[in-house]
């Protein structure tokens, strides 16, 4: 969301980022003005339960409970901020449903900003979300709040995306990370070069789920150079680093990937979209429910292969075999380049800001309650 926020500031608009207390540091690192609202919720504990559930089941109910807890924790403070600051628009990530509630309370439009495929826009999720939001909406005297807002900013290429639940505003994906050190890799020579990265979530749940070092040991060899792109905190989790391997700590992933022939990763949306922008085919080893679904979409689009992390862990030969299949089939690389071209053709964040300006003007001119379901009046 940072590139869109900066584009809005560059266009002359006031922007405030609202975060719970534990995200204060990330908000400050973005350089944007920010406000701390609500209280922290232990999302790590919730996802630890999801990972440990037998067969990976039970993710849906646990995710809905987490969404409800996050909404409860932030909505009232956020409504005070939006109303007191007299905001004209609330842009929120697809799991931060305090956003549409606060927008409805202030009578201003809400816009979702996706970070991957629209998992919560699926019909099954649409049926459950209103009930999750209802207790908080009732306390604020609102009718049934529309959780999907008037539009959806979407950084996914259209051919990778699922149907969105509100008007789609496509936007070019612009990588943004607090870990952004400039990276220059040495010439690769005749070897294939493969990046391995494992996001920033799984090691917080359980260090044994951080498979980057295990994967590097499985695939590095005389014909395959490996670049391990990790945070400085993750480096001790790698174990013994094999020959033909370079460790890049806190480097800008979007600078590493264009210098590689493929990436092996965990299936997180940011890693996937950064690789899509770089035009690199992907071997994905997903474990969390959202990683599984994002990875499946990429495989369906033809730009990668998937091996469930539970199957790959402890079977290095399986990872090596699937990587060989990915690299030896030129169709995957060709499809990855097509997705990159499609991504580049999407409007820039600056162009999307213009769309948001028109949207705010249109909604204000309509002079109707914003953010409530049709036929649902404020209470």
More confident residue, 290 or 363: 290
Q: Is pLDDT above 50 for 378?
A: no
164 and 198: one domain?
no
66 and 118: one domain?
yes
pLDDT tens readout for residues 103-151: 999 999 999 999 999 988 877 777 788 888 899 999 999 988 999 999 9
223 and 135: one domain?
no
pLDDT tens readout for residues 317-348: 999 999 999 999 999 999 999 999 999 999 99
pLDDT-based confidence at 365, cuts 50/70/90?
A: low
pLDDT tens readout for residues 95-104: 999 999 999 9
313 and 362: one domain?
no
The per-residue b/e assignment along 93-112, b for 16 or more CB within 10 angstroms, e otherwise, is ebbbbbbbbbbbbbbbbbbb
114 and 61: one domain?
yes
Q: Partners of 251 in the beta sheet? A: 181
126 and 104: one domain?
yes
The per-residue b/e assignment along 21-60, b for 16 or more CB within 10 angstroms, e otherwise, is eeeeeebeebebebebbbeebebeebbeebbeeeebeebe
Query: Does a structural domain hold residue 79?
Result: yes
Q: Which of 13-17, 62-66, 69-73, 350-354 has the lowest mean pLDDT?
A: 62-66
Q: What is the pLDDT of residue 58?
A: 52
93 and 121: one domain?
yes
Note down the domain range covering 13. 2-172+347-366
157 and 209: one domain?
no
Query: Does a structural domain hold residue 358?
Result: yes
pLDDT-based confidence at 47, cuts 50/70/90?
A: confident
More confident residue, 23 or 121: 23
28 and 155: one domain?
yes
Average pLDDT, the chain: 91
Greatest Cα pair distance, the chain, in angstroms, is 69
Distance of CA 17 to the CA centre of its chain: 17
Q: What is the pLDDT of residue 126?
A: 76
Count of the separate structural domains present in the chain: 2
Domain containing 358 — which CATH number? 3.40.50.2000
pLDDT tens readout for residues 27-36: 999 999 999 9
Q: Cα(280)–Cα(129) distance, rounded to whole angstroms? A: 35
**pTM score, whole prediction:** 0.91
pLDDT-based confidence at 374, cuts 50/70/90?
A: low
362 and 318: one domain?
no
């Amino acid at each position: 969301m940072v590139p869109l926020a900066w584009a809005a500031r560059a266009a002359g608009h006031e922007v405030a980022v609202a975060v719970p207390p534990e995200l204060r540091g990330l908000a400050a690192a973005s350089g944007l003005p920010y406000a701390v609202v609500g209280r922290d919720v232990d999302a790590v504990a919730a996802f630890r339960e999801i990972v440990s559930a037998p067969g990976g089941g039970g993710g849906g109910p646990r995710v809905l409970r987490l969404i409800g807890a996050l909404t409860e924790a932030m909505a009232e403070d956020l409504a005070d901020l939006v109303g007191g600051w007299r905001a004209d628009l609330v842009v929120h990530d697809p799991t931060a449903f305090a956003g549409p509630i606060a927008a409805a309370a202030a009578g201003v439009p809400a816009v979702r900003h996706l970070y991957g495929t629209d998992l919560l826009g699926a019909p099954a999720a649409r049926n459950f979300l209103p009930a999750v939001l209802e207790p908080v909406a009732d306390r604020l005297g609102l009718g049934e709040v529309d959780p999907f807002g008037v539009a959806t900013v979407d950084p996914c290429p259209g051919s990778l995306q699922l149907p969105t639940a509100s008007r789609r505003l496509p936007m070019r994906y612009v990588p943004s990370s607090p870990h952004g050190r400039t990276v220059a890799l040495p010439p690769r020579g005749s070897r294939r070069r493969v990046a391995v990265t494992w996001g920033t979530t799984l090691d917080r749940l359980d260090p044994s789920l951080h498979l980057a070092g295990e994967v590097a040991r499985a695939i590095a060899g005389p014909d395959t150079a490996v670049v391990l792109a990790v945070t400085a905190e993750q480096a001790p989790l790698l174990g013994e680093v094999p020959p033909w391997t370079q460790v890049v700590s806190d480097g800008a992933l979007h600078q590493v990937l264009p210098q590689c022939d493929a990436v092996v990763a965990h299936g997180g949306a940011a890693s996937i979209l950064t690789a899509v922008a770089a035009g690199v085919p992907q071997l994905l080893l997903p474990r969390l429910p959202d990683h599984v679904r994002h990875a499946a979409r990429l495989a369906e689009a033809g730009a990668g292969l998937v091996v469930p992390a539970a199957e790959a862990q402890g079977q290095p030969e399986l990872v090596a075999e699937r990587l060989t299949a990915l690299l030896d089939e030129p169709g995957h690389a060709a499809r990855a380049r097509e997705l990159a071209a499609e991504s580049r053709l999407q409007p820039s964040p600056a162009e999307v800001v213009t769309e948001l300006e028109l949207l705010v003007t249109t909604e204000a001119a309509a002079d109707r309650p914003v953010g409530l379901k049709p036929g649902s009046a404020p209470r």
